[in-house]
Amino acid sequence: MPARSPARSALALFVPVLRAVLYMVAYIVIQIVLAQSLSALAHSIGSGGLFKPGGFGTANEAFLVSVLLSIPLQILVTWLFVRFLDRRTLASIGARWPLGGRSAALRQLATASLGAVAVLGLWLALILALPDALAAIHYAGISAGYTRGPAWWPLPPVLLLLVLLLGFILQGGLEEWIIRGYIYHTLRERWRPWVSALGSSMLFALLHAANPAVSGIALLNIVLAGMVLAALVERTGSLWSATLAHGVWNFAVACLLSVPVSGIPLFHLLDVRITGNPDLTGGGFGPEGSALLTLIGIALTALLWRGMWRRKSEREAALVPVSAPGDVFIPLSS
């Protein structure tokens, strides 16, 4: 068999990148079309509830709903990409039980969720340890919005919190499906895991670049969060634990700690304000804009990626025998 030319081999390295770009274009089109459709529907029926006339998305909860409504269509588009363009299965992008099966999934339900809360708790402890001149937390009890509930929600407010928890897990799952699912695993075909994780994490940060109150520290923290979530996917062979960690983190920040998550305030339990140096507190972006979270993110990234930096790409792992413990490859499909 004739050897491939260097130019052709170099081009093959970037074919996954082209497929990832095409997939992201499809994702963006889906979001735009759905948002415009819901906006037109809200105007046509003159709704005064969640989907307010005068501009869809003025209620942040409405934005969350629009994202959730896109899930079935995004799954369909992903299946078309995976089945006909990539010649793979959905299991190959992490849509499967984690390694260890359902018992491992049950353990990760606790560890991933509690881990996300623990990271937030550590960040809070660091904030509280700072002098008040640098950072201070002001707590004024239960929020007025929680006490009376939003006008569009007829049930007890506590039920809305439960709905938002489920919504955040689904929303986090959608982002994991896109970024750590299709994008990461597509790059993983030709690139080593840490390179694929870094590339997909930079894209993850780019998707948040237009959020309110975004900063350079915030974007760095989102890259680090992406590296942590990619490590969970790489270690478990599944999107399960990353989805749980992502969704519980968003819910805990926005609804329990009751500060903006990625710059977006939502229905929340407590009346809390955090004042001080925005580089330390995160300012209007929330904890994800804090340099203190950067320190935690660097430590978590180093810990979770320890022993995995040398892992091969899927193609290398299929062609080259395992030569060292650090080269062990986790199968991504079954």
d(C-alpha 65, C-alpha 110), whole Å:
26
Mean pLDDT, residues 146-168 taken together: 90
- H/E stretch holding 271: strand 270-276
Proportion of the chain above pLDDT 90, given as a percent: 75
pLDDT digits (tens, 9 = 90+) for 264-283: 999 999 999 999 999 999 99
pLDDT digits (tens, 9 = 90+) for 114-141: 999 999 999 999 999 999 999 999 999 9
Q: What are the helix and strand counts (H, E) for the chain?
A: 13, 2
Token output for 121: 């708790």
pLDDT of residue 328: 41
**pTM of the entire structure?**
0.89
CB contact set of 16 (below 8 Å; sequence gap of 6+): 186, 187, 189, 190, 191
pLDDT of residue 164: 93
For 27-45, what is the HEC assignment?
A: HHHHHHHHHHHHHHHHHHH
Q: For residue 49, is pLDDT > 70?
A: no
pLDDT of residue 42: 67
CB environment 138-155: b (16+ within 10 A), e (fewer): eeeeebebbeebeeeeee
Kindly give the interhelix angle for 216-236 and 240-251, rounded to the nearest 10 degrees.
150
How confident is residue 12, by pLDDT bands cut at 50, 70 and 90? low
Phi, psi (deg, nearest 5) at residue 12: -60, -30
How confident is residue 74, by pLDDT bands cut at 50, 70 and 90? very high
Q: For residue 19, is pLDDT > 70?
A: yes
Amino acid (1-letter code) at residue 156: P
Mean pLDDT, residues 34-48 taken together: 70
Are 274 and 123 spatial neighbours (Cβ–Cβ below 8 Å)? no
